[in-house]
Every structure is written in C-alpha cells, then in structure tokens.
Amino acid sequence: MPQEDRHTNDWNSVDPHRFCVAPMMDWTDRHDRRFLRELTKRALLYTEMVTSAALEFGDRENLLAHSPEEYPVALQLGGSDPRQLQLAAKLGEKAGFCEINLNVGCPSERVQSGSFGACLMAEPELVAECVDSMLQSVSIPVTVKCRIGIDDQDSEAALQNFIGIVADAGCDLFIVHARKAILSGLSPKQNRDIPPLDYDRVYRLKSSFENLSIIINGGIIDMKSALDHLNYVDGVMLGREAYQNPFILAEVDERFFGAQKNELTRSRALTNYLPYVEQQVAAGVPLQHITRHLLGLFKGVYGGKAFRRHLSQNAYKPTSGVEVLEEAMYLVDKHMQDGELTKEESKDLC
C-alpha cells in the first residue's frame, strides 16, 4: 500500500496506541490480524517479531506480507545491530507499516543467543544507538517494548535510567510490560506469569517522564481494568486475552475511541471474514493456518466447544475450504437453539 494512501486513513486522526494488541510469536500473523480487523478498526495491531537478520538475508516479501485492511499495523523488529536494524526499518516503512517497534522485552533463550530481546535492557546505550540509527532512516515512529527490569537489574532507578537514555536518542513512546524478565531458569511462558506484576512502577514511570507516551502491558484481561489503566498511562496493550478470547475486541472502538456502539455478533464477524478465507485457500494457504486463530471466537457461548472441535477435526484436511467454517457456524446456531451448555462451556461462562 503506498505510503501516501496509508496516511490518509481516518484512524490517523486518533492515536491508536490508546488500545493495542501485542505482538505474539506464532499468533499475530497476517491471517490473525486480518480477522481482528473484523472486530476493531481502531486498535493498533503489531506483527510477530521479525528479526533484522531475517529481513537482510531471508524472504523479505513473505516476512513483511500484510494487507491494507490491517491498518493501523506496526512492525516489531528484533535485533541489536544498528546497521541491520536501519535496513530493516527502511524495508518496514517501504512496505507500508505505520511504526517500527524494537523488541527489548522477549526473554527466550533463543532470542538471547542472538543478543537481542530483554537482555538488551542491560545495554541502554546500545538500544539508544539502534533507535537513533533507525530514526535516521525512516519518517515513521520508532518505539521500544521492554520490561520493568531483568534479573537483579530490576530497581526503579535502573528502569528510569534505561528509559532516559533511550528517550534521549529520540524514542518518545515505550510499551512497558509490568513484569521483570528472569533470563535464566524460566521459560518465556513462565516469564509471562511467575514474575509479579507491578503496575504502580509503570504509573510512576509516566509521572517521571510526562513528555513520553507510556503504554502498559501485562496481565490485562478485561475492558474495565484496561480503561482504569488510562487514568495513569497513555495506552494499554492486551496480549493473550485478545487472542484466546478475541470477541472482547468488539468493544474497543466504542469504549476507547468514542465510536458508535458496535452491534457486531460473533457469527457476523466470521461471515464477514469468509471471503478473505476463501481467497487465501484459493491461493494455496492451508485452511488450518487460518482457522487456528479462530478457536476462541465462541469462547463462553452455546456451541463453542462444538465449533472448536469441528475446526480441529476438519480444517487440517488437504481439501478443506470455507465450508468447514460454515459447518462449524451451523453447529453453533444449533446449540443456541437447543439452549444446552456443555460442562466446558458452563465453566467458560463462570
């Protein structure tokens, strides 16, 4: 999509950082982002992390693939080589992304072995150099996603020192996961749950850097708590809940951006998505690569288990097409008419 067209979209008049959906490896690919746009037009979406090395030496077209319907959408990069990141940022802007975000929060050992992710919080000067290098090559914003600390470098002073040094390089927006990262001994999954949340530290960070935009992330699972955070910071970012229970996003445009009440239903959202699915399957994309992102759509409603089961049992078949989704939707309708909840669905509603 040409850059001049991107900047004329109506979303550009309202800061989409007020509500963001987190970059999540293996989850927020182009098929997922395209579906989320059926639920919210205003929230800022992020790609999965793409490494700067992959963009220099790999299949750029595939790595940067997205559709105009996804906007606003930001590209998250992983890396620590200023030259390589500068090239990657240029490619991201040319591809039409509205923002470049540097990952300084991922705690996985694989990412650490590449000397990027959360381990970079120990090297604020290098992060600043990377940010400066990218800003010199693009006209779109360059932002940073980080933790509140790592290992024993988790004091409030260390966090403020990191933010101050990187901000001096020109970064004016930080997405802060309100947990520290433990770089040895915990898996990425454990790092999302075991270190305690410290929202107050993120609030104080905003108070200390009033000129910066601070977006809070971590453990946010409903719209009420997300709205409460806006009393202290500039925006919120949802991760797992937005993926595992995506229909929660149908409230976002009204509650965060002042849009008219959304009368969208789950079935209507899926029906609107079917032409995209049909197009992608015709282009050779296996149906299960798309439907895996839809398993949580009917979470907590009549027929949700039947919907998930039908997709899981049929979408992987080589000849499967949109009829599998249509059949799954029929099962939901049938359960709603019967008015009977399975035990699993009863638990979902609690």
Could you tell me the sign of the dihedral formed by the alpha carbons of 267, 272, 274, 276, in that order? Answer: negative
Active site includes 98?
Answer: no
Query: Is the CB of residue 105 less than 8 Å from the CB of residue 146?
Result: yes
Catalytic residue among 98, 106, 119, 130: 106
Q: Give dist(CA 318, CA 281) in Å, integer.
A: 10
Q: Give dist(CA 135, CA 142) in Å, integer.
A: 6
Q: Give dist(CA 303, CA 333) in Å, integer.
A: 7
- Token couple for 79: 């890396």
Q: What are phi and psi of 74, to 5 degrees?
A: -110, 150
Query: Is the CB of residue 43 less than 8 Å from the CB of residue 249?
Result: yes
Residue 70, helix vs strand vs coil: helix
Q: Tell me the pairing of strands 235-238 and 73-78.
A: unpaired
Q: Checking phi first, is residue 225 left (phi over 0); if not, alpha (psi -120 to 50) or beta?
A: alpha
Q: Which residue has the tokens 């996985």?
A: 108
Give the active site residues. 106
